[in-house]
Structure 1
């Protein structure tokens, strides 16, 4: 069975929706951010502060390229789409679902200092600039686009409904 790979901006709820979707489908759940923390022994903000953006992106891409699983809902980091090799690998055995969320909602969920949230971006970059950079990549890699809803259960149900509607059996 194929995996479901959730992509989208930080703050869209990939982790909470992913957990809810995995429960609905009887799948395993994997959060790539957790794998990064486990592999490095550091939190995402610590990696960004001590090792820098390029090291973070390299680690994230490597983990994405080496992830091997089945029947799993995978919550990627918002920056996973910056690694073409990782996204190509994840889509070989998975359906990529972009949880699209309005920029205004994402901005409301973000701290002033994006590094505090572990967001992979150069210093001084705004959430709007990150969105403008990544939105075309989310669109490029997405097999399906699902509008993020208020509750994670509603969004998880919507992902399942859209997949079935287009003939993809989760």
Structure 2
């Protein structure tokens, strides 16, 4: 495998960024960080509390600030689903490594996410899951160096496929 920089995972909530990210970090002997944790540590609140205390746009702004200044060499980085709304943040992350879009169908995500309303997802109050999904797909594709379709794959299969794609 080429000299590894960072690997940045993007995708919808429920795509497996954190779960797959931990396994990938172990496999490649890299550090792992979830940018949602960086946001929560900085703010002293959960994502849902940030939204409740202000609004989803404030959460997106905070997320943008956090990822625009994060220095994460040799990390597997699990981003929040809304990281792609920050051009500056994504530019910073792209400079540090390869961006991988974990692509799942809306049906697959609905099977995986059971707490859509309380999960701390940065979306407009009345925005449906389907509308949010459609809105974000173009942004994920815009920033992705690699797109991994995760539908029908278990964790080990997704990990194996991603490792193979990273080597190529």
- The answer on 1:20 being equivalent to 2:23 is yes
- The answer on 1:134 being equivalent to 2:156 is no
- The answer on 1:64 being equivalent to 2:89 is no
TM score, norm. by length of structure 1: 0.92
**Equivalent residue for 1:144, pick from 143, 146, 163:** 146
Q: Using the alignment, how far apart are the partners of 1:36 and 1:115 within structure 2?
A: 19
Aligned to 1:125: 127
TM score, norm. by length of structure 2: 0.93
| Cα drift, residue 158 of structure 1 | 1.4
Which is further off, 34-43 or 155-164? Answer: 155-164
RMSD (Å), alpha carbons:
1.3
Q: Using the alignment, how far apart are the partners of 1:144 and 1:61 within structure 2?
A: 22
| Cα drift, residue 123 of structure 1 | 0.8
| Cα drift, residue 109 of structure 1 | 2.4
1:66-107: CA deviation from partner (whole Å, max 9, x where unpaired)? 110211000000000000110011001110000001110112
Q: Using the alignment, how far apart are the partners of 1:105 and 1:84 within structure 2?
A: 27
Aligned to 1:81: 84
Consecutive unaligned residues in structure 1, runs of 5 or more: 166-170
Asked if structure 2 preserves the Cα contact closer than 8 Å seen for 1:21 and 1:153, the reply is no
Runs of 4+ in 1 over 3 A off after TM superposition: none
Q: Using the alignment, how far apart are the partners of 1:147 and 1:74 within structure 2?
A: 18
Aligned to 1:168: none
1:37-90: CA deviation from partner (whole Å, max 9, x where unpaired)? 111111111111112112101110011001102110000000000001100110
Which is further off, 41-50 or 155-164? Answer: 155-164
| Cα drift, residue 108 of structure 1 | 2.1
Q: Using the alignment, how far apart are the partners of 1:67 and 1:153 within structure 2?
A: 29
- Partner SS, residue 118 of structure 2: helix
**Equivalent residue for 1:10, pick from 10, 13, 19:** 13
What pairs up with 1:153-168 in 2 under 5 angstroms? Answer: 153-165=156-168
